[in-house]
Amino acid sequence: MKKLVILPTYNESKNIIKIIDILLNLDTNLDILVVDDNSPDNTAEIVRKHNKEEVFIEQRAKKNGLGSAYIHGFNWALENKYDKIIQMDADLSHDPIEVPAMFNLLDNYDLVIGSRYDGGLRVINWPISRLYISYFANLYARMITGVPIKDLTAGFKGWRSETLRLINFNESSSQGYCFQIETSFRAYQKACKLVEHPIVFTDRTVGESKMSKNVMIEAVFKVWLFGFWRLLRTKK
């Protein structure tokens, strides 16, 4: 059973080696794919110099966005015949200690979501304003899409390879939060088995956030397309 962790990066030179080493110490049977968007801080070169045989680097020509990076990583994973794939942030906001449990859950589920809101609120170092925005954004997305998941914008997720093939992820043009919503929505629409795994999310302490207004605006409006898609499928 081949296992892969995908880490999309843009200017993560201060975090990337730490998360790679933690992951490899947790599970010597996993591989890591770093998908780097030509980071000016030489993230890709730092990974190459670290020279771990379990770590692969795909360096893209320019910054094309988070959704595009994951699509690149998913295609690479399927081409290289991985069975279980985890996507997570490279800034240590997603605790690597949860990775083995999420891989294990993929024995029984098609999609595992590392959830900040399942069974309570588990977020550290966020201002109250960002907590409100995130909580109500997830409520908004859940109501429109009908997906019974509390943390639809979560970026810490585990996939079976069969699930990725089923959801036609290459058709997505979404970025950021919207990509996370769309892929979970696609899995739910295909009657996949979804489960939330409670995690603690700790906001980054090193480096800069990649959050932008454009990413937030996309999520607010594009989620309605998923709602219409849901209605059309219901009427068939």
Residue 9 pLDDT greater than 80, yes or no: yes
Residue 218 pLDDT greater than 70, yes or no: no
- Distance, in Å, from the CA atom of 230 to the CA atom of 179, rounded to the nearest integer, reads 17
Residue written as tokens 């996507």?
Answer: 87
pLDDT, residue 195, reads 98
Residue range 4-10: mean pLDDT, rounded: 97
| Structural domain that includes position 95 | 3-235
pLDDT, residue 129, reads 82
Residues 59, 167 contacting (CB under 8 angstroms): no
Nearest C-alpha neighbor of 99 from the set 109, 110, 88, 108: 88
Quote the percentage of the chain above a pLDDT of 70: 86
pLDDT, residue 174, reads 83
The number of folded domains in the chain is 1
Q: Place 208 in a pLDDT band, splitting at 50, 70 and 90.
A: low
Long-range contacts at 50-56 (CB < 8 A, ≥ 24 apart): 50/17, 50/20, 52/20, 52/24, 54/24, 54/28, 54/30, 55/20, 55/24, 55/31, 56/31, 56/32
Q: What does the block give as tokens for 44?
A: 């890709």
pLDDT, residue 135, reads 84
Residue 204: which CATH number? 3.90.550.10
Residue range 168-172: mean pLDDT, rounded: 93
Task: For 99-120, write each residue's pLDDT tens digit.
Answer: 999 999 999 999 999 999 998 8
